[in-house]
Amino acid sequence: MYAQMVDTGARVAPGELDEQEQRFQARIDEGIRVEPQDWMPERYRKTLIRQISQHAHSEIVGQLPEGNWITRAPSLKRKSILLAKVQDEAGHGLYLYSAAETLGVSRDQLVDELHSGKAKYSSIFNYPTLTWADVGTIGWLVDGAAIMNQVPLCRCSYGPYSRAMIRVCKEEAFHMRQGYDLLISLCKGTPEQKQMAQDALNRWWWPSLMMFGPPDAESVHSQQSQAWKIKLFTNDELRQKFVDQTVPQAEYLGLTIPDPKLQWNAERGHHDFGEIDWDEFYNVVKGNGPCNRERLATRKKAWDDGEWFREALVAHADKRAAQ
Amino acid sequence: MNSTWPLWEIFIRSQHGLAHRHVGSLHAPDAAMAINNARDVYTRRNEGVSIWVMKSADITASSPDDKAALFDPANNKVYRHPTFFPMPEDVKGL
Ligand SMILES: [Fe+2]
Ligand SMILES: [Fe+2]
Ligand SMILES: [Fe+2]
């Protein structure tokens, strides 16, 4: 997802928790929210910093693939919509950085970790946006997958994170719909335009399924995260839900999902689907996807180019304060 | 020069007549920029008609350890609620 494979630290069996931690777990089980000033296990705090900051970084880096198309949008209407969408993603990043900061990290530290490559962001944003149809497909699939993951997180155990997610989710519905709306236009357009949409789906389908993270059998940290209620459903559960939701949407557009094994399984009441290429996923996570280097370089350049402006703002503030 | 921008708490009044409500926080070099940033971060969809910003460092919060001392006394004073008093059904205007 926007946060993939979040390390929860050394695992502690429920029987080995000390008294304080047992009380903490009991409160979580009761559904009581944890707030910044409450006592929390160090492992919980560190895991949340990793998860929330990874999520924040994804929102920020996630602006880049779509940002590529702002100057080339085919109409003023589409350009205004895309600008608003990309601006929302910046806002999402800020809500989430603020939530992470309540856990005792500084914004500068988080940004440094992104720029140094130490912190991760979602694998999905390391794929290129080759055509205008990619903008629609990202809204439909990537924001659609994000919603699937983020709606349950509105109920997560950490108060500031859950409140940030509530804000984010309100805005994501617009993101998904504008993407689907864009694709409806293309699919009702010329054969070339429809083909453009099909090509985008062909390229984004598998990376979108990878967004949910490794299969449950390989997700070593899932159990702990679920006990802490900072993960409410498993990767495979969410992935299945996503496939089931998306198939009829693709049908409506008249597009073919690029998976010959995709098939309704009446017995399970779900769609079966083909094997995901996990080598590709791990390769992207390691930094070798098609755009990893470009994305980081763009982020760093934006940060460095803005330095004189940040300094000027501080100089102005200092001068005013001295008056 | 101090390059770390202070943290500001943001309060938005959503409509005339309602109180300002805390909506979140952000970093800014000064109060004027905090209002500008709050406009962009928290009111992109007409969420407000007025913004207050306040340095987070200036807020004094009650400590979770004092929860019992502060709030328990109110627990056993149910008579402070009108529902504590059963009223005769045929008497109106109460
Ligand atoms: Fe977002
Ligand atoms: Fe998101
Ligand atoms: Fe989004």
What would the pLDDT profile of A57-71 be if each residue is shown by its tens digit? 999 999 999 999 999
* Confidence band of A43 (pLDDT split at 50, 70, 90): very high
Give the pLDDT score at A222: 83
Tens digits of per-residue pLDDT, A272-320? 999 999 999 999 999 999 999 999 999 999 999 999 999 999 999 999 9
Q: What is the pTM assigned to this prediction?
A: 0.92
Question: What average pLDDT does chain A have?
Answer: 94
Question: How much of chain A exceeds pLDDT 90, in percent?
Answer: 91
Question: How much of chain A exceeds pLDDT 70, in percent?
Answer: 99
CB nearest to A314's CB, from B29, B44, B61: B29
* Confidence band of B3 (pLDDT split at 50, 70, 90): low
CA A82 to ligand 3 center in whole angstroms: 11
| pLDDT at position A9 over 80 | no
Give the pLDDT score at A1: 62
Q: Is A62 in contact with A150 (CB distance < 8 Å)? A: no
The region, left, alpha or beta by phi > 0 then psi within -120 to 50, assigned to residue A31 is: left
CA distance A91 to chain B (A): 5
Q: How big is chain B by its Cα radius of gyration, in Å?
A: 21
Q: Which helix (H) or strand (E) holds B84?
A: none
CA A287 to ligand 3 center in whole angstroms: 23
The tokens describing A218, both together, are: 């390989």
Q: Note the Cα A316 to chain centre separation in Å.
A: 36
B53 lies within 8 A of chain A by CB: no
| Cα(A140)–Cα(A134) distance, integer angstroms | 10
Interface residue of B14, B25, B67 to substitute, partner A, most A CBs within 10 Å: B25
Q: Is A274 in contact with A205 (CB distance < 8 Å)? A: no
The tokens describing B62, both together, are: 């009650």
Residue the block writes with tokens 């969420």: B47
Give contacts of A313 with chain B, Cβ < 8 Å.
Answer: 29-30, 33
| Cα(A134)–Cα(A218) distance, integer angstroms | 30
| pLDDT at position B57 over 70 | yes
CA A52 to ligand 2 center in whole angstroms: 11
A312 lies within 8 A of chain B by CB: no
* Confidence band of B1 (pLDDT split at 50, 70, 90): very low
* HEC sequence for chain A: CCCCCCCCCCCCCHHHCCHHHHHHHHHHHHCCCECCCCCCCHHHHHHHHHHHHHHHHHHHHCHHHHHCCHHHCCCHHHHHHHHHHHHHHHHHHHHHHHHHHCCCCCHHHHHHHHHCCCCCCCHHHHCCCCCHHHHHHHHHHHHHHHHHHHHHHCCCCEHHHHHHHHHHHHHHHHHHHHHHHHHHHHHCCCHHHHHHHHHHHHHHHHHHHHCCCCCHHHCCCHHHHHHCCCCCCCHHHHHHHHHHHHHHHHHHHCCCCCCCCCEEECCCCEEECCCCCHHHHHHHHHHHCCCHHHHHHHHHHHHHHCHHHHHHHHHHHHHHHHC
Residue B48 identity (one-letter amino acid): G
| pLDDT at position A87 over 90 | yes
Give contacts of A105 with chain B, Cβ < 8 Å.
Answer: none
The tokens describing A43, both together, are: 């492992």
Q: Is B74 helix (H, G, I), strand (E, B) or coil?
A: helix
* Confidence band of B4 (pLDDT split at 50, 70, 90): confident
CB nearest to A87's CB, from B5, B44, B63: B44
Residue the block writes with tokens 């934006």: A302
The tokens describing A131, both together, are: 């055509």
Can you name the residues that pair with B24 across neighbouring β-strands?
B10
Give the pLDDT score at B15: 87
CA distance A53 to chain B (A): 15
CA distance A40 to chain B (A): 12
- Phi, psi torsion values for B27, nearest 5 degrees: -95, 145
Burial group, residue A33, by CB count within 10 angstroms (0-12, 13-18, 19+)? middle
* Confidence band of B65 (pLDDT split at 50, 70, 90): confident
Give contacts of A35 with chain B, Cβ < 8 Å.
Answer: 64
Please give the ipTM for the structure prediction: 0.84
Can you name the residues that pair with B59 across neighbouring β-strands?
none
B29 with A87: Cβ contact below 8 A:
no
A316 lies within 8 A of chain B by CB: yes
Can you name the residues that pair with B53 across neighbouring β-strands?
B10
* DSSP assignment letter at B80: G
B30 with A320: Cβ contact below 8 A:
yes
- Phi, psi torsion values for A249, nearest 5 degrees: -65, -40
- Least confident range from A125-129, A149-153, A252-256, B44-48: namely B44-48
CA B45 to ligand 2 center in whole angstroms: 18
Q: Is B24 helix (H, G, I), strand (E, B) or coil?
A: strand
